[in-house]
Amino acid sequence: MGAAGRVGTTANVIRYITATDGAHHAICQGVQRFRVLQFLEDYPFMAARVELLAESGQAGPDIEGRAQGLKERAAEILQLLPQVPEEVVTALQGVEGAPRLADFIAGLMDIGAEEKQALLETFDLRTRLDKLLDLLAHRIEVLKVSREIAERTRGSIDDSQRKHLLREQMRTIQKELGEGDEGAAEIAGLERAIAAAGMPAEVEKQARKELKRLEREIGNVFRNVAVRVAEGGVQRVAVGSADLAAILGPRKFEAEVAMRSGVSGVATGLAWTPVGGDILFIEATRMPGAGKLILTGQLGEVMKESAQAALSLVKAHSGDLGIAPEALEKSDIHVHVPAGATPKDGPSAGVAIFVALASLLTGRLVRSDVAMTGEISLRGLVLPIGGVKEKVLAALRAGIGTVLLPARNRRDLEDIPADAREKLKIVWVEHVDEAIAAALSPAAMEVAPV
């Protein structure tokens, strides 16, 4: 809903889905536009007093002609797109009435939220149809250029090379731009590094899956530049880090961190891999039981021992944390580290597991902008770990603002690039009490026994 126009849409929830990873999705059908008259306070959710807006009753040959042209251009786009479900084509042909047709096509278009909001706030039907006609005409030209590049690339390779289609597309686009093969050389270098690292089979599989995702993202950047050149606006383009969000969309990690950290019992840890650092989520939950600890996520023996030590430490500090003894005695605790297909081991997740358990049993959320790493002892000391540089850079890539590191790793500070040190707040912790103070939100509720 636009902040300026404050126009939105009433909708019916057609279907509600809970994905296997715990994410929630709702499929909605828009019904009618409304304008916000007043936002209401004292509700646990956003509420407002609204005015329903009736669709204008515009009609006539000029409206019908524009609607017919809009339907024809939409059909042309569907022919250019690969693997469009037949149901979409049928639905398009079955839409009746210019207002419904305009809103149906606007909902299907791959355009930004601001452009869609602008269409939603365009009440004049003739103007709305004209805007959509312009957007579709532009999109058709872009798709034609993209198909032209793909066909030119496909003709240059034989059957034995088809698995390298994306790489060949990148080379073709680079040739169009007069660029060299630097990107391909970097990808090849990463592939050699993976082959030489001697990783376990599952870890190597995951690493190669990430280098392919990286290759696709690089290809998306090249295609975006190629389209801009083909449209005649520029002849040469320099792409910097500030341009990536507009080309590739917002950072994916930031949304995932915020989503996972919205409930108690979830902490963001940091891990080292042979090809750099990564973030990992420690998820804890409890259920009626007899005090058992359940561990899942393909954890190694050392990481399992860290989880047991973290639980023992929480029990030892239950009084200080305000945890009722019954919450531990009559509950089973389940700790899970997602991405279960990837083996995980090492002691450096100890502090993150401790914080996740403390969050679960106190009801206090872990701040979504905080990540941490460090081994723990049964006395509550936070012990030094390796891979500090790689872990800190992984936190920065994920949009993390604060990183908790063992105080005894201060000697590694100079290994962290200066720009990363400037963008991140690094908190040095010697004891788990300091990690609790830095990572957990203020006390919110008392956790009753299960």
Residue 445's pLDDT is 46
How far is the C-alpha of 360 from the C-alpha of 355, rounded, in Å? 9
Confidence of residue 354 (pLDDT cuts 50, 70, 90): very high
Confidence of residue 448 (pLDDT cuts 50, 70, 90): very low
Helix, strand, coil abundance in the chain, percent, nearest 5 = 50, 20, 30
Confidence of residue 272 (pLDDT cuts 50, 70, 90): confident
Is 60 exceeded by the pLDDT of residue 426? yes
Range from 167-171, 304-308, 377-381, 439-443 carrying the lowest mean pLDDT: 167-171
Range from 42-51, 247-256, 436-445 carrying the lowest mean pLDDT: 247-256
How far is the C-alpha of 309 from the C-alpha of 376, rounded, in Å? 8
User: What 3-state class would DSSP assign to 25?
Assistant: strand
Q: Which domains does the chain have, with CATH numbers?
A: 10-54 (no CATH), 55-155 (1.20.58.1480), 158-248 (no CATH), 253-439 (3.30.230.10)
Residue 349's pLDDT is 92
Confidence of residue 424 (pLDDT cuts 50, 70, 90): very high
pLDDT in tens, 207-249: 777 777 777 777 777 777 777 766 666 667 777 777 777 777 6
Mean of pLDDT over the chain: 81
Average pLDDT over residues 290-298: 90
Residue 202's pLDDT is 66
- Residues 374 and 406: beta-carbon distance below 8 Å: yes
pLDDT in tens, 311-349: 999 999 998 888 888 888 888 999 999 875 456 778 899
Is 70 exceeded by the pLDDT of residue 447? no
Is 60 exceeded by the pLDDT of residue 162? no
Is 60 exceeded by the pLDDT of residue 160? no
Residue 77's pLDDT is 84
Is 50 exceeded by the pLDDT of residue 153? yes
Percent of the chain residues past pLDDT 70, beyond the cut: 81
Asked if 359 is an active-site residue, the reply is: no
How far is the C-alpha of 166 from the C-alpha of 164, rounded, in Å? 6
Residue 24's pLDDT is 82
Is 60 exceeded by the pLDDT of residue 156? no
- Residues 115 and 122: beta-carbon distance below 8 Å: no
Average pLDDT over residues 416-426: 91
Can you say whether the dihedral through the CA atoms of 13, 18, 21, 22 is positive or negative? positive
Residue 146's pLDDT is 79
Confidence of residue 79 (pLDDT cuts 50, 70, 90): confident
**Higher-scoring residue by pLDDT: 344, 294:** 294
Is 90 exceeded by the pLDDT of residue 434? yes
Is 60 exceeded by the pLDDT of residue 258? no
Query: Pseudo-torsion of CA 437, 439, 442, 445, nearest 10°?
Result: -110
The phi, psi pair for 285, rounded to 5°, reads -145, 165
Average pLDDT over residues 181-187: 60
H runs (alpha helix) in 287-410: 301-316, 318-321, 325-329, 350-362, 388-397
Is 60 exceeded by the pLDDT of residue 2? no
Exactly one of 261, 331, 348, 368 is catalytic; which is it? Answer: 348
Structure-token pair, residue 85:
């479900």
Exactly one of 331, 359, 368, 391 is catalytic; which is it? Answer: 391
User: What 3-state class would DSSP assign to 286?
Assistant: strand
pLDDT in tens, 8-63: 889 888 888 887 777 888 878 788 899 999 999 988 888 999 999 887 777 788 88
Asked if 241 is an active-site residue, the reply is: no
How far is the C-alpha of 2 from the C-alpha of 151, rounded, in Å? 40
Residue 19's pLDDT is 74
Is 60 exceeded by the pLDDT of residue 183? no
- What DSSP state is assigned to residue 56? P
Confidence of residue 124 (pLDDT cuts 50, 70, 90): confident
